[in-house]
Amino acid sequence: MLTPKPFYFLRHGETDWNRRRIIQGQTDTDLNATGLAQAAAVKPAVECLPIATICCSPLLRARRTTEIINTQQNTPVVYLPDLMEVHLGIYQGHASNGEWREPWAKGGPMPEGETFADYTARVIRGFNAALTHPDPVLIVAHGGNFWALEHYGLIAPGARVTNCALFELEPPNEKSAAESKFWSVTTLSCPEGQPLVIGEGAA
């Protein structure tokens, strides 16, 4: 299902739509001042990691985050469309806590957008494509990517995926597999203050 190779994951910095709790989906919003500061703040933590390739969503908020964290090291960057956030059709630009969310997550249609099943399958495909590149790989993408990992039972539900949170993900080894089927998710860096988390703001 997911290539059993460790990797790092970084969610993009904050945007105005995150702050206003508006669904972005594939609307190409840029980082706000807070998001720019978050990316600069997480940069030293990223620079301490032995990253060989950065695989990035082509949406602007992820690209801008990558540009900031990669100014010194010039790590090769690969843009993968399958890592983009979900296309939420007619609901992009609307409140993130709308009544559409639960029916969609249970398999309902998304007018002019992606179904939950299509989205999660695409993201897993994107992760696997990223993991074909020289490793260790850092994936810079969206909070919604964790929905896919949770949907397929790869990580335990409830991860706090804040803007510019940096994680290390490791597959279960033979010893831990007897105790848990989940990949381990270790938070390496998280913005100070009270950052928005997935479900509270648009991804």
Helix 33-47, helix 60-69: angle, nearest 10: 50
* Residues 6 or more apart whose Cβ sits within 8 Å of residue 33: none
Is 85 one of the annotated active-site residues of the chain? yes
Residue 1 CB-density burial (10 A; 0-12 exposed, 13-18 middle, 19+ buried): exposed
The single residue listed with the structure tokens 């993130």 is 96
Amino acid at 15: T
Tell me how far apart the alpha carbons of residues 96 and 94 are, in angstroms, rounded to a whole number.
6
Is 133 one of the annotated active-site residues of the chain? no
Q: Which of 85, 114, 142, 151 is catalytic?
A: 85
Residues with catalytic function: 12, 85
